[in-house]
Amino acid sequence: MMKNWTVKPTIRYLPAVIAIGIALGVASHAIGFESGLVESVILHMITALLIGSGLIFVVTNADLVSPESSESIRSVIFGLLFMVIGVVAAEIEVGLRTVFFGNGSYQPFAGEGIYLFDAIIAIILGFGMFTTLRNAVKPDESAGKDPAEHLEPLSTLPVKKGDSIHLLPLGSVCLLEAADKYAYVYNTAGEKYLCDYSLAQLENRLPRSFERIHRSHIVNVEHITTIQAFDKKRYTLSFSSNAVPAVRSSAGYQEKVRGMIKI
């Protein structure tokens, strides 16, 4: 299945991250931790930029990081990623201090306790973002979303087949898969078509039989025949046609999948 990494949320939050770094630099100088204002602002701004942008990128692409693993293993992986981001930022800060604001020659990993400090900060901030930033930022849904109030429900989907546009009856659609600003559509025969609309544009215009189970997947519940638990929060859904690939739900949509199971 196609997976798409995105940097748009990271770029969108860069001004805020830079502003936080500048504020920390000014505050650090004001209370006496840093002797030079310019040095303090530059170092804190770069450190905030490295840690902040790194964490935002990982968190907003979290569904693509080891999706087959259990939640406990994923937590360990994320913790290590956050720690690495903190250590790398600390090493760059040490190098900048030495080369541009110090009197000695640069020596790798000579920053002593700064590595542990930045690693802990990165881990705390990283896991904190899971309950805030990920819920607020949905990159493939944030742009170009049409207001549903004045749009008619769909009965067919316009899909490309060669140089022609075909109107595919929704009853024959099993799965819609995100493809950047577009969507792939699978019918009951397992045929795959490209649709010029994103999942965000289609979601609120589809019948109630269509449910979003993942940032990248919308399924037609009428064609789901098997729902198998993958772990405590995620499920594997299979279709009546073996030609259509099975898909896995994400933890954020677990209630929707559980709703399919209830009678």
Tell me the three-class secondary structure of the chain, residue by residue. Answer: CCCCCCCHHHHHHHHHHHHHHHHHHHHHHHCCCCCCHHHHHHHHHHHHHHHHHHHHHHHHCHHHCCCCCCHHHHHHHHHHHHHHHHHHHHHHHHHHHHHHHCCCCCCCCCCCCHHHHHHHHHHHHHHHHHCCHHHHCCHHHHCCCCCCCCCCCCCEEEEEECCEEEEEEHHHEEEEEEECCEEEEEECCCCEEEECCCHHHHHCCCCCCEEEEECCEEEEHHHEEEEEECCCCCEEEEECCCCCCCEECCHHHHHHHHHHHCC
Buried b (16+ CB within 10 A) or exposed e, 168-205: bebebbbbbbbbeebbbbbbbeeeebebebbbbbbbeb
What is the model's pLDDT at position 172? Answer: 95
Tell me: do 131 and 24 sit in the same domain. Answer: yes
Which residues are paired to 219 by β-bridges? 175, 211
Domain assignment present for 142: no
What is the model's pLDDT at position 263? Answer: 56
- Is the distance from CB of 238 to CB of 226 less than 8 angstroms? yes
Q: Which two tokens stand for residue 132?
A: 């805030």
What is the model's pLDDT at position 140? Answer: 46
The CATH number of residue 241's host domain is: 2.40.50.1020
Domain assignment present for 145: no
What is the model's pLDDT at position 73? Answer: 87
Q: Which domain holds residue 240?
A: 151-261
Mean pLDDT by 10 residues, the chain (263 residues): 68 90 89 82 91 89 74 88 92 85 74 85 88 57 45 87 90 93 93 92 90 94 94 93 93 90 74
What is the model's pLDDT at position 34? Answer: 73
What is the model's pLDDT at position 181? Answer: 86
What is the model's pLDDT at position 136? Answer: 57
Domain assignment present for 143: no
Tell me: do 174 and 93 sit in the same domain. Answer: no
Domain assignment present for 187: yes
What is the model's pLDDT at position 143? Answer: 43
What is the model's pLDDT at position 142? Answer: 42
Tell me: do 101 and 183 sit in the same domain. Answer: no
Domain assignment present for 249: yes
Tell me: do 174 and 117 sit in the same domain. Answer: no
What is the model's pLDDT at position 195? Answer: 94
Tell me: do 183 and 213 sit in the same domain. Answer: yes
